[in-house]
Structure 1
């Protein structure tokens, strides 16, 4: 017997009977008669849940009868499975189901079988539900690469193994150990490194590496010494890098786009005296100029400055606390705000106020903004041309000559 899993905490809803127009009532009676004769529905009495029918007119003029299950749907929990897996269960039971292994490190099993999914995930879950999927984690790539290398380099003993890279050039055999020989070469056009790796059995792996950056002879030697020692045989490969088309098919060719060791950038610190030096000396050490007038003015101005973690800050009435910067940083700040990534070549006043809003301060910020905008080439070429006369216009009151 079919039953609905209704939440017992929900109160049953009995909808009041709706009155339909004669045309709709006739369509309802006809549709119910058809369903009763077909045996699809039967007459029963529900004392708790009652729902009305909803009549929707089709494009051809006929009526479609629907049931308003709004309240009943809200009282029934949602089914976490979009569609039944009947086909999959039958195939698995009969032994005809093909198991598909999915190798991945992503939580696809949890995503697909998540009870509450929507949108495209529902479509994918429905499509994949017909397959017998098994998810296994991906193995380590390094181990797989080692296995592939062993399989690729494993040759039968009866096969002859090449022992030289050219006529009259043999590589010394070192029984029981791998030998790596490297040499670097650099010219005006290109530079590169040649490497030769020989196994104890005599199998040779040749690799030529081309540098995608300009390198001197010493830099090429350093890149070579990172991997091994120099050798005359490897010198042949390093010189063939100048023309990769001349390389044999047995030689592996690679490109190195950047050096293996990046040079560290050294930032120069400017400790020369500037406008902040008197304030820092007074606030930290209590030092004042010998001139009493200058000392008194310095004390008055220093009241709006303070030092926090070795950095001088300025207090203002209408702005937040501003960081004080020197001449070098001031020029960089002007350039970045005026013509940087987010710069829009603003005017002098807007440039100064924008820097202050960003939290920076120095005494000559307005004068420096004027000088910087005057030197900006883009502002001179594309700024609005002032057509107003520089002189205030005045009326001419003198009489015109030769007028009777």
Structure 2
């Protein structure tokens, strides 16, 4: 635009601003180019009526795109549509017909991917939605395969841009998991997501997303030409906008005290007619005002648990209303909360109180760092002896171990997390208590009661109880007494009888415990089960299959959530050298594993004739019952559970026979032997 046009445009814009016909905005969603038309007196006029633009600029044409070329292609066929012309089908008509047929046969619709070509993913994010397009480049043309779009939740709208892009990629990989597993995927984006996800110091959700995406063959490239990116942006714009309006909650509270005790009543009214009522009885002496304060605190805790952000509190206590920003209402307007409070006046129920146990590490750390000892000489001597096995590094307490040089000491809350992760996490195999303790020590964790805690955790694990082994004597005793020769042979390798079956049994058992009722999802869980199997020490070799191959143990996810010693003191520059050293000494590890395997076989041979211990149950005990082939669901096949229940012991008929009943009290007709029952831990 020249200087004359620029000055004329500035003058016209100032006139429109003064007339308040237009206004300035920060983020515009629509933009029109300035069109200036020279007037007869030599001045410039800025056109504002674009519907009549062709009259102002008659030489400018705005035809529809490609209409002339499309008309030329089908002109041989359109001539035949005229009534006056004679019908004559020639080569030009044939070519036009084939071109039209090919165009109709290849519309721009979703296509099936070709496994020989990589998949291209274009991501688009906005303030309220994330979208992605999965396409494939075929002969220079990008064919769409699938579209994914999702509205962001309230908390997700406050994510940073890089987190939104990562969330869009993770959501796409979850929705299109079968595509990501069977193809090489190329992500086209201008965000440095590959560098961010590759950082070792990630934490929180970004770390979890990085681990989840590491299982796929993903390559990150710059966006380059627009092409399919416009599809992702278009889907993002079409997604409905969500409105997260914070709504008000109304809280009615009332508390009172009398000679029988004190209590409180709470009514929380939320949006869409939601109403929650709570009655409390205090096991301590309290005045009326104290009961009113306790009622208000209980109501606020209830509102916090429900996620309320805006609360209007109503109480009939003027003392509370004057000291706290709540609304005072007459007692006759607070009858509902008063009624709820009176409901517990005649109820005598003791609720168990929760106490936070003291951290066992503090006493040892105080002795090592400050020299603090208890006043009792016996306790002081015990502490000195105990502290000789511990060391403090960077403010963290470690125990000198035999299996691992330094074991990180954990609190009770941290111990519960790592036990659950090792037992039933991504690399967990629902193993027994002893194996769980071994995996925890191998990962570098310690606390004094880890053996007892693991035993109780495994006992209460529902999948482990439901899919536990059947209890019976070996069938070889029956075969030998009847003179039956039972031989199990493999087709190709008779010398490996039972080895492949044992490995498959372990994998199948872990699949049962992971799937639950969704038996059809076994193919998606199989890679995790195989990875967990490779990271678990085997009883025959006392080593993990991963270490027998690479010479070192793999880092399991729990070491990232609760950093172990080797994770906290990881040296990236020296890592490659140490990995090569592990490969040099792997032969020594394999020889030692072979010796342990031979010793294990000899131990199994000595215990081969051991018998199952006699089990006795008392009336009222809860037990599991063996499912049996007749009671298994045929649709579940091999994945059906081996035990069902729980049931209650109704009568003890002695000699190992019992009568059972359902938990509702309904008796079960037949009797059951103790070999078909086992204890239910709750």
Q: TM-score range by the shorter chain?
A: 0.3 to 0.5
The TM-score normalised by the length of structure 2 is 0.21
- Structure having the higher helix fraction is 2
The TM-score normalised by the length of structure 1 is 0.35
